């Protein structure tokens, strides 16, 4: 038997939903506990598949943890194995985040080349070149990265902005000898939180939030972490805002950080929506009419690639032609054929998708291809006439906590169902 999401037309939503902690902040912070001398406690950790995968990986290395009610207590002092095996790493690219801290702490490690969403090439060569610049010897054999050596601070220039690359090198530099300067560093809020937590744990870091970071390493002296809470998930928040937008409904998000969502809010304003914004709440006010939009994905603080699929779903209901340019990943329009199955009129030319709206959507069987693409299909299913079945939904549970309960709390009609394997 396998599970699929059965969605019934839900043309209006209402009420509020509490946003979970950010998966993309939790993952590097969990990996960073490899640098800790003793227990680390973090709260607001999302109970999603990717977090469980990383905890399984650390447990496999010898770490001990308790994860209950979104609070994680973890101790990595018992790590006695530095091989991150393919069986775990293959399901999630973010597993590469253990490479930097394992190498920095133990002087050698073996990490499988990663898997995860099939949204295009996300090569780890930027991570490896940077570690080699810091003095590591790296070989790739049998699908594994073999890394060894004592890391020394140096200047690193990333040829292109890489979030996980920045995070990996920040963690490696934390225990390195001397000063590391990262030029063209990622500025995402998740990178900022990692730097702030490491700074409070005893690492000197300058330039947090800018594209130039300076890290003075502790020369293998382990860190002492304060307790901390994971920042709210801006992509989850954006997805629920898009659910309100596609149904043109008034909904409220709680436990959000509006400052992290400026590019998303600006595009929704362009489309005709307005907001009431508090310190940790956002209420979406329906539009008199939904306007078309032009979007180009780019690094933070620009429009996030993780939100373009959801906006494409809304654009099917806009009064006119929208364009969405995907600049970061070459294979991130796999949801387009599935949206077209539901009745959308979307054409792709190279890196640009043109969405002709408005179109009437009709329920059908569709297939999730990656994490964010699957959320776009859920949004489209809310307004599609009849019933929509979204298959391969394990992608959704990698990044959305309590998705079913949260959508139902807003009035969406959907359920998980099982059917036999073909």
d(CA 342, CA 379): 11
Kindly state the tokens that stand for 197. 């937590």
Structure-block tokens of residue 293: 């939009």
Alpha helix segments (H runs only) across 90-249? 99-106, 125-133, 163-174, 189-200, 234-246
Instruction: Report which of 330, 325, 262 is spatially closest to residue 298, judged by C-alpha positions.
Output: 325
Strand partners, 386: none
Closest of 271, 278, 275 to residue 256, by C-alpha: 278
The pTM is what? 0.96
Distance CA 412, CA 384 (A): 12
Which candidate, 359, 413, 367, 420, places its Cα nearest to that of 387?
413
pLDDT over threshold 90, residue 421: no
Give the other-Cβ count within 10 Å of 347's Cβ.
11
Mean pLDDT of 401-417: 97
Range 344-371 average pLDDT: 95
Position 227 pLDDT exceeds 90: yes
- Give the SS3 label for residue 314: helix
What's the pLDDT at 420? 77
The pLDDT value recorded for residue 116 is 45
pLDDT in tens, 328-348: 876 678 899 999 999 999 999
The pLDDT of residue 422 is 66
String of DSSP letters for 321-355: EEEEE--S-TT--TTHHHHHHTT--EEEETTEEEE
Both tokens of 265, joined, read 């809010």
Q: What is the rounded distance in angstroms from the CA atom of residue 370 to the CA atom of residue 373?
A: 5
pLDDT given for residue 347 in this prediction: 97
The per-residue pLDDT for 115 is 56
Question: pLDDT by residue (tens digit) across 257-271?
Answer: 999 999 999 999 999
- Say which of 109, 117, 195, 242 is annotated catalytic: 117
pLDDT tens for residues 23-65?
A: 999 999 999 999 999 999 999 999 999 999 999 999 999 999 9
Pairing of strands 2-8, 387-391: antiparallel
The pLDDT assigned to 340 comes to: 98
Q: What confidence score (pLDDT) does residue 117 get?
A: 40
Cα dihedral sign for 323, 327, 333, 335? negative
pLDDT, residue 18, reads 98
Q: With a cut of 50, say whether residue 120 has pLDDT above it.
A: no
Q: What is the pLDDT of residue 394?
A: 87
- Please provide the DSSP assignment of 77-92 as one string: TT----EE-HHHHTT-
Please check the confidence at residue 89 and state whether its pLDDT lies above 70: yes
Q: Which of 308, 311, 304, 262 is nearest to 290 (CA)?
A: 311
Provide CB contacts within 8 A for 232, sequence distance 6+.
Answer: 19, 20, 21, 22, 44, 255, 256, 257, 260, 280
Q: Quick one: pLDDT band at residue 370, thresholds 50, 70, 90?
A: confident
Q: Rounded mean pLDDT of the chain?
A: 94
Mean pLDDT value of segment 170-175: 98
Whole-number pLDDT of residue 121: 46
DSSP state of 401: T
DSSP β-ladder status, 281-285 and 251-254? antiparallel
What is the mean pLDDT of the segment spanning 181-200? 98
117 is known as an active-site residue: yes
> Nearest to residue 6, comparing CAs of 418, 422, 420?
418
Mean pLDDT of the 12-32 span = 98
Please report how the helices 49-61 and 23-32 are oriented relative to each other, as an axis angle in degrees rounded to 10.
Answer: 10
Q: How far apart are CA 404 and CA 74, in angstroms?
A: 29
């Amino acid at each position: 038997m396998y599970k699929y999401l059965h969605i019934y037309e839900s043309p209006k939503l209402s009420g509020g939903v509490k946003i979970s902690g950010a998966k993309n902040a939790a993952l590097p912070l969990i990996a960073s506990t490899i640098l800790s001398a003793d227990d680390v406690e973090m709260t607001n950790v999302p109970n999603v598949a990717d977090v469980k995968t990383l905890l399984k990986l650390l447990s496999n290395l010898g770490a001990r943890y308790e994860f209950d009610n979104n609070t994680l207590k973890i101790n990595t002092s018992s790590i006695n194995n530095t091989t991150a095996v393919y069986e775990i790493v293959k399901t999630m690219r973010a597993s590469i985040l253990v490479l930097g801290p394992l190498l920095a702490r133990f002087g050698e490690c073996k990490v499988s080349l990663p898997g995860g969403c099939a949204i295009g090439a996300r090569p780890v060569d930027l991570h490896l070149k940077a570690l080699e610049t810091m003095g590591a010897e790296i070989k790739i054999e049998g699908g594994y990265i073999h890394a060894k050596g004592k890391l020394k601070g140096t200047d690193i220039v990333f040829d292109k902005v890489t979030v996980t690359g920045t995070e990996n090198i920040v963690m490696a530099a934390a225990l390195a000898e001397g000063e590391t300067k990262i030029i063209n560093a990622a500025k995402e809020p998740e990178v900022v939180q990692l730097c702030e937590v490491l700074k409070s744990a005893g690492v000197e870091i300058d330039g947090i939030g800018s594209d130039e970071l300076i890290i003075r390493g502790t020369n293998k002296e382990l860190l002492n972490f304060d307790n901390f809470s994971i920042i709210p998930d801006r992509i989850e928040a954006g997805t629920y805002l898009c659910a309100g937008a596609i149904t043109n409904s008034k909904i409220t998000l709680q436990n959000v950080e509006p400052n992290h969502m400026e590019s998303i809010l600006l595009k929704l304003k362009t489309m005709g929506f307005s907001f009431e914004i508090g310190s940790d709440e956002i209420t979406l006010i329906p539009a008199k009419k939904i306007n078309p939009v032009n979007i180009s994905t780019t690094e933070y603080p620009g429009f996030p690639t993780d939100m373009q699929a959801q906006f494409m779903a809304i654009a099917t209901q806009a009064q006119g032609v929208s364009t969405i340019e995907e600049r970061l990943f070459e294979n991130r329009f796999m949801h387009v054929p599935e949206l077209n199955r539901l009745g959308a009129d979307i054409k792709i030319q190279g890196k640009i998708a043109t969405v002709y709206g408005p179109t009437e959507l009709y329920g059908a069987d569709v297939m999730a291809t990656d994490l964010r693409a699957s959320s776009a299909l859920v949004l489209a299913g809310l307004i599609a006439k009849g019933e929509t079945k979204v298959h391969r939904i394990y992608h959704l549970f990698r990044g959305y906590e309590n998705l079913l309960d949260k959508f139902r709390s807003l009035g969406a009609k959907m359920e998980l169902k099982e059917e036999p394997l073909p």
